[in-house]
Amino acid sequence: MADFLPFATHQNVRRTPPHPVRTPSWAVTPRSRVTLQCRRDDGDDRQFVNDELTTSLELEISAATVEALARALELHDYRRGRFGETSTHTARVTQLALRLAEEIVPELALDPQLAYGFRLHDIGMIGVSNATLLKPGMLTPAEIDEIREHPWLGERIVAPVPALGGVARQVIACHHERWDGSGYPRGLRGIEIPLAARMFAVVDAYDAMTNDQPYRDALSVEESCVEIRQKAGLDFDPDVVAAFLSFDLQPPAQPF
């Protein structure tokens, strides 16, 4: 088994990160395609007509799977006494990240998996203990490591779902990677990080800055933009930052 399962970036570049991490067996499960075929008899000729029906069915199944996983994450919030916290954050970042994708790479923005990945980016948090997530004070190194496992856990959760095996998986697995290689879990750098994850990282950070957090009050839009600009080339892709800062950003609105 390879030590690292590379992601195909938007630039079709495949590289090995400076600190390879062994890929678990579940991450290399071959993708499968489920097709439903309807047989039509025309005399002696039997034809299989499946394209439109299969596409429609697969879209419905994919959307239903994403909805089920999202509701599971919301239930996890409810059990922690924070019902609605994740869903409102997810609504904001999905809307803004799709807007950014439309600006940078319109063809990718048309892929339903992109929105699925944005919506399920933190699905791996289901596997992080409440004791760690709800701890009011500073986290220990072990607790920080536990939280940093959530991209791996999220990738494992969606691994059996073919409809989440492309761009969606890239977002879930790589949204905490950093441009300079200081992120996690793989330590990818630069364009080794899939473009979808590079875009989402900027939006996710901006949303965290402009909303209250347990450890600090929300920053203004202006303050947040200054911090995002300062982290271009360190945490974030400079080109993605430039596109993001070209927006007329407004204070957080009510979730849709």
Per residue in 94-125, pLDDT (tens digit) is 999 999 999 999 999 999 999 999 999 999 99
Query: What is d(CA 61, CA 162) in angstroms, rounded to the nearest whole number?
Result: 11
Distance (Å, whole) CA 227 – CA 235: 11
The yes/no answer on whether domain 47-245 falls in CATH 1.10.260.40 is no
User: Distance from first CA to last CA of the chain, Å, rounded?
Assistant: 44
Q: Is residue 1 scored above 80 in pLDDT?
A: no
Q: How confident is the model at residue 130 (pLDDT cuts 50, 70, 90)?
A: confident
Can you give the pLDDT at residue 145? 95
* Structure tokens belonging to residue 247: 């927006």
Amino acid at 51: D
Q: Mean pLDDT over all residues of the chain?
A: 78
Residue with tokens 């940078």: 104
Quote helix, strand, coil % in the chain, to nearest 5. Answer: 55, 5, 40
Amino acid identity, position 142:
A
CA distance 216 to 133: 16
- Quote the pLDDT of residue 131: 87
Of 137, 127, 119, nearest in space to 204 by CA: 119
- The gap from C-alpha 166 to its chain's centroid, in whole angstroms, comes to 11
Once rounded to an integer, what is the mean pLDDT over residues 129-140? 86
CA distance 38 to 40: 7
Higher pLDDT, 203 or 29: 203
Per DSSP, the residues of 115-164 read HHHHHTTTGGGGGS-HHHHT--SPPPHHHHHHHTTHHHHHHHHHTT-GGG
Over 80: is that where the pLDDT of 78 sits? Answer: no
For residue 41, what is the enclosing H or E element?
strand 38-42
pLDDT digits (tens, 9 = 90+) for 5-50: 444 444 433 333 333 334 333 333 333 333 223 333 444 444 434 4
pLDDT attached to residue 80? 63
